[in-house]
């Protein structure tokens, strides 16, 4: 391990969640491990994003869409009754109140606007539970683009209402029958499809994964969560920042966006993974879907299927910047079980009148456990991103409760 007497350079810029280093790197992770046929398309997305993100006109248009269409800013809600029971001060960043019901819309509006700027007429997306697919279908309808959404056959069976919702919004939903027929395979199929369609289509990746510039770009589009919360906290608390910032992590987009607002503060960052999909906590270095990061693998190097009651956490890896934050020790990654998540969802429903998405319930489950186990000193201030609303999970809750 580290020898305290030797000099170590200060944490690289990645530790404060800025732009990636050369060749799209967050420490050793990230990069652009794309088939040669997709490299040019990735370059074009990077150039367009770099230019757009510097352009106040683009930023203004996006801010307008986020306000008028998506309902931003979202409130910061003190969870009063639950806080009292836990002995901490818990605040919820309410991404569940955005249009379409989850933080996914933040990223999708950004990418859809970028696609328009690049002259692309069609969005390609992968989806697991359907939240990113619905958000993509929504943004496409709003901006007059076509949308093709790839979804595993098993997820289509589990989430038939979201499939109908996407079709109602005018999107084409393509069932994916390969592999485990879930999110991982839908992502592979979307990439295959993009190879043949790069001239007129933009691949709208839903999380902080994929080849450079996607992990960076998606984080930037989600940064609005953390930036808003930072401002809201400054107004709410004398200390200005919470002691702890907590978010659930599948690929890790809502966590990346939340952490980005606090990476340069004293707040401790905690990412909560599903026990059956813990890329950051239990993954091993590898390359999948265009980036080097941490992935669940078997003894031969084959990617293992993730299993979680929360379809949005059903990805067998984690975004490269999370892997980097883990290595730096800047963020900590923990896991909770399906049962803990369901219990936390019920508790939030009954104490605060909010039914959270099963994904978000994972973050809450860890807060409850940490507060009960003495890991959180009494009176700690905690920000938790409530990434989505639980409507999509009502059928699952009904089966279990």
Partner 1 sequence: MTEPTTLAAGAVELHLRARRDAGRGLLMPYLTGGVTPGWTDHLRAFAAAGADAIEIGLPFSDPTLDGVTIQQSSEVALARGASTRRILAGLSGLPDLGVPLVASTYYNLVLHDGPEAFCAALRRAGVDGLIVADLPVHEADELAEVAAGAGVELVLLASPVTPQDRLAEIAARSRGFVYAVSLMGTTGERAALAASAAELTGRIRQVTDRPVLLGFGISTPDQAREARRHADGVVVGAAVMRRVRDGAGPDDLRAYLTTLRQALDQECDPPP
Q: From CA 148, how far away is CA 133, in angstroms rounded?
A: 9
SS3 of 304, please? coil
Q: From CA 374, how far away is CA 131, in angstroms rounded?
A: 35
Least distance in angstroms from the C-beta of 35 to partner 1: 5
Query: Is the separation of the CB atoms in 362 and 272 below 8 Å?
Result: yes
Q: From CA 168, how far away is CA 222, in angstroms rounded?
A: 26
Closer residue to partner 1 (CB): 140 or 294: 294
Closer residue to partner 1 (CB): 290 or 356: 290
**Torsion angles phi and psi, residue 195, rounded to 5:** -55, -40
Residues that bind partner 1 (CB under 8 A): 23, 31-37, 39-41, 178-179, 184-185, 188, 191-192, 195-196, 198, 285-290, 292, 295, 297, 300-303
**Residue 398 annotated among the catalytic residues of the structure:** no
Other C-beta atoms within 10 Å of 301: how many? 9
Least distance in angstroms from the C-beta of 201 to partner 1: 11
Closer residue to partner 1 (CB): 165 or 289: 289
**Torsion angles phi and psi, residue 238, rounded to 5:** -65, -35
What residues contact residue 231 under an 8 Å CB cut-off, 6+ apart? Answer: none
Least distance in angstroms from the C-beta of 217 to partner 1: 18
Other C-beta atoms within 10 Å of 50: how many? 14
**Residue 104 annotated among the catalytic residues of the structure:** yes
Of 46, 126, 321, 340, which residue is the catalytic one? 126
Of 104, 184, 219, 392, which residue is the catalytic one? 104
Of 93, 184, 387, 392, which residue is the catalytic one? 387
Closer residue to partner 1 (CB): 177 or 239: 177
Least distance in angstroms from the C-beta of 360 to partner 1: 28
**Residue 93 annotated among the catalytic residues of the structure:** no
Active-site positions read: 104, 126, 387
């Amino acid at each position: 391990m580290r020898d305290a007497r030797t000099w170590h350079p200060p944490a690289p810029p990645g530790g404060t969640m800025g732009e990636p280093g050369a060749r799209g790197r967050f420490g050793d992770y990230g990069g652009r491990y794309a088939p040669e046929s997709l490299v040019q398309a990735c370059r074009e997305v990077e150039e367009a994003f770099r230019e757009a993100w510097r352009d106040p006109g683009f930023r203004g248009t996006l801010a307008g869409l986020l306000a008028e269409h998506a309902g931003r800013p979202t409130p910061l809600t003190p969870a009063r009754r639950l806080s009292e029971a836990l002995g901490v001060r818990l605040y919820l960043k309410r991404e569940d109140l955005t249009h379409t019901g989850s933080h996914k819309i933040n990223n999708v509006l950004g990418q859809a606007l970028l696609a328009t700027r690049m002259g692309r007429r069609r969005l390609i997306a992968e989806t697991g539970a359907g939240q990113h697919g619905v958000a993509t279908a929504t943004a496409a309808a709003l901006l007059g683009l076509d949308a093709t959404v790839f979804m595993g056959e098993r997820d289509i069976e589990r989430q038939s209402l979201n499939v109908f919702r996407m079709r109602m919004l005018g999107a084409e939903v393509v069932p994916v029958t390969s592999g485990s027929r879930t999110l991982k395979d839908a992502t592979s199929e979307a990439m295959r499809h993009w190879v043949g369609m790069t001239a007129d289509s933009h691949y709208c990746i839903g999380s902080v994964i994929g080849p450079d510039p996607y992990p960076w770009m998606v984080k930037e589009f989600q940064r609005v969560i953390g930036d808003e919360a930072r401002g809201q906290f400054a107004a709410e608390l004398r200390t200005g920042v919470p002691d702890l910032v907590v978010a659930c992590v599948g690929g890790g987009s809502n966590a990346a966006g939340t952490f980005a607002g606090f990476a340069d503060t004293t707040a401790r960052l905690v990412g909560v993974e599903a026990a059956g999909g813990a890329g950051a906590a239990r993954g091993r270095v590898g390359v999948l879907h265009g980036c080097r990061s941490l992935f669940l693998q078997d003894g031969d190097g084959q990617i293992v299927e993730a299993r979680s009651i929360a379809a949005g956490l059903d990805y067998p890896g984690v975004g490269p910047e999370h892997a980097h934050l883990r290595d730096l020790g800047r963020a900590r990654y923990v896991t909770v079980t399906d049962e803990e998540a369901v219990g936390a969802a019920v508790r939030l429903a009954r104490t605060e009148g909010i039914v959270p998405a099963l994904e978000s319930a994972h973050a809450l489950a860890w807060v409850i456990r940490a507060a009960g186990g003495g890991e959180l000193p009494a009176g700690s201030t905690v920000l938790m991103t409530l990434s989505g609303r639980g409507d999509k999970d009502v059928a699952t809750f009904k089966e279990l409760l």
